[in-house]
Chain A
Amino acid sequence: MSYLTIRNLSANLKGRPDRILRNVSLQVAAGEVRGLVGESGAGKSMIGKAILGTLPLSIEITGGEIILDGTDLLKLPPAQRRTRIGQFCALIPQDPLTALNPSRRIGPQITNRLVDILRWTRADAEKRARELLAEVHIPDPERVMRSYPHELSGGMRQRILIASAFAAEPKLIVADEPTTALDVTVQKQILKLIAEMQARHGTALLFVTHDLGVVSKVCQSLSVLYGGLVLEDSRMTDFFHAPKHPYSRALLAATPKYTDPDGSLTPVPDAVVAATRAEVEAADRSAHV
């Protein structure tokens, strides 16, 4: 049974007909890593935000279910939903430079949720934070915990955010393009670290990215998104051998082989894009009847 099941999730720009998510369904099994790929604006981040309850005020969910461990989050009262998410889910954000509060030391930024939300003692929480920082290969965790974010490098901060995401032993982590804001040299290390932490803790991971090369390294299954519509939902091996949807095929062709980073990049052909867009519109029409 899957840990997270999203069923027919739709979202709109509030008070407008603009659709952001179109009947999205996807599942993440316990301990599984699922990739979520698609071009910019496809709605990848919106799915993550819908799960974590951080959608912007301008966007409203118009239908569907987000079932976490058997409970539909959308049916819970806000406060309960929030604590449930805080207890069982976590986010690894995209930009480590803006995801840490500049006026607070690192230590409390990791331990506060354990103390405030999960009612740990401060001492236990600090011990846990030290262990986690060591786990993400940060030298001298004591000193780092006393530092302010601006005193640390981007790669260091992303390690801290990864440690913080695992702090409460969540069952599901949403990682929204966790390496795109980093130096190329650091990207690989961070990717490796996320995979390593995921494997060690057995956490289910929803990995948002537009890089199929990254997906092939860390994911076991993936969903391809276009215009808020899920085009394809495949096991990783199936996808790379035989992508089902023409758009996926074009996407795969457009991705330079990660073994050959200088390989020429073929853009997704216009005809494929047009056909896919027509498919999205057809889905809308059938939803209206």
Chain B
Amino acid sequence: MQLLQSVLTRLFTTLITLIGVAVIVFFVIRVVPGTPIAMMLPPGATEDDVARLTALYGLDKSIPQQFLIWLSGTLHGDFGTSITTRQPVLALVLSRLPATLELSIMALVIATAIGGFMALTGTRLRGTKTEAAIDISNGMALSVPDFLWGLILILGFGVLIPIFHISGRISPSLDLPFTSNFYLFESVLRLRFDLWADIVAHMFMPALALAIPLAAIIGQLLKQSLKETMHLDYVTLARTKGYGENHVILHEALPNAILPTLTLVGVQFTFLIGGTVIIERLFSYEGLGNMAIDAVINRDLPLIQGIVILFAVIFTAVNLLVDLCYAALNPRLRHA
């Protein structure tokens, strides 16, 4: 009951946030210099041509007027038309969303696996050289940003030892039976593991580049939290009952140590999604982020707006999901 209420409150504040984001983005991209029209016309176009096109896209009206037009369209599900591709923004953005979602989620899975493994190993072997080595590698992983990891990976496993693909989402020569853009997901559903392997070989490096810093954060936070939990009385009590170290870490400490980590990982995951913009560009991966950079270069105002709004929706959805997980894992909230 209380949960439902808090979800509803969250949805309401989310709506306010989104409107705020829309307003800010709308005005900011219109006051920065450069217009889409200049990009579209061939050299030698006349003043007349410019004026005609400007009017066609409604860019001759005042900015508040433009905003009202855009807002009323948006509320009816019409996010406008991309200036460069002349396609509806909503369709364009939604066609790219699955690629970015798959990449982010794969990165999150990799980060959780690596970070969780580091944290558990570090806790199990606390006070040993292995723990020190884990701390050092976490520190190193954190001090290099994701796009540099991307470059390092491209050099290492794309060029020197070419075992992964360095660009694109899937090999262009393949016949695609897909009806959705969730390639990775659909390839599993269709049991087409040949395609699945090709997609993974494309996604793995960008996903790993995104995952490494997050893995280090998860590793550090969870290890810290585990070590604190290991000193608590109920863990000691479990030891006196005859349980071994592994059981104590996994069954007594971990379920409680996860909680504080979870919230921070939620925040960090939204940073990771932000990181897809550059990583997708680096790996020529056809997702939202790559599209966003093109849109900015071309000053494709409706498209930029659509993408930003979609990112904002994803961010708030992630935060909501984290809160729900937290509530589900914490009996104190579950029964409150």
Contact = CB atoms under 8 A, between A and B. Distances in A.
Nearest to A86: B242
Contacts of B255: 101, 103-104
Contacts of B236: 54, 91, 93
Contacts of B76: none
B234 A53 contact: no
A151 B252 CA distance: 19
Contacts of B244: 79, 82
B43 interface: no
Contact of B330 (A79, A101, A103, A104): A103
A96 B264 CA distance: 30
A89 B240 contact: yes
Nearest to A91: B240
A95 interface: yes
Given A57-B126, A98-B233, A103-B256, A151 B240 contact: no
B239 A54 contact: yes
Interface string B300-336: 0000000000000000000000000000011110010
B271 interface: no
Contacts of A113: 241-243
Contacts of B126: 57
B42 interface: no
Interface in A96-142: 98-104, 112-113, 116-117
A116 to B, nearest CB: 7
B234 A85 contact: no
B51 interface: no
B243 to A, nearest CB: 7
Contact of B241 (A100, A104, A117): A117
A60 B55 CA distance: 83
A53 B240 contact: yes
B331 A102 contact: yes
Interface residues of A, number: 31
A90 B240 CA distance: 6
Interface in B212-248: 232-234, 236-244, 247
A95 B233 contact: yes
> Of B126, B233, B237, which is in contact with the most chain A CB atoms at under 10 Å from its CB?
B237
A3 interface: no
Given A99-B233, A101-B252, A150 B240 contact: no
A52 interface: yes
Contacts of A86: 240-243
Given A101-B252, A103-B330, A87 B242 contact: yes
B127 interface: yes
Contacts of A57: 126-127
Contacts of A112: 241
A101 B234 contact: yes
Contact of A148 (B232, B234, B239, B332): B332
B234 A99 contact: yes
B232 A98 contact: yes
A283 to B, nearest CB: 30
Contacts of B256: 101-103
A71 interface: no
Nearest to A51: B240
Contact of B234 (A83, A87, A98, A150): A98
A117 B243 contact: yes
A54 B236 CA distance: 7
A80 B237 CA distance: 17
Contacts of B232: 98
Given A53-B240, A86-B241, A116-B247, 16 more contacts: A53-B239, A57-B126, A82-B239, A82-B242, A82-B244, A85-B240, A85-B242, A86-B242, A94-B233, A98-B232, A98-B234, A101-B252, A102-B256, A103-B255, A103-B256, A104-B255
Interface of A: 52-54, 57, 79, 82-83, 85-87, 89-91, 93-95, 98-104, 112-113, 116-117, 148, 150-151, 161
Task: Kindly list the 7 A-B residue pairs having the minimum CB-CB distance in the complex, ordered from nearest.
Answer: A86-B242, A113-B241, A117-B242, A99-B233, A98-B233, A101-B234, A148-B331
8 contacts: A53-B240, A57-B127, A82-B244, A83-B242, A101-B255, A104-B255, A113-B241, A116-B243
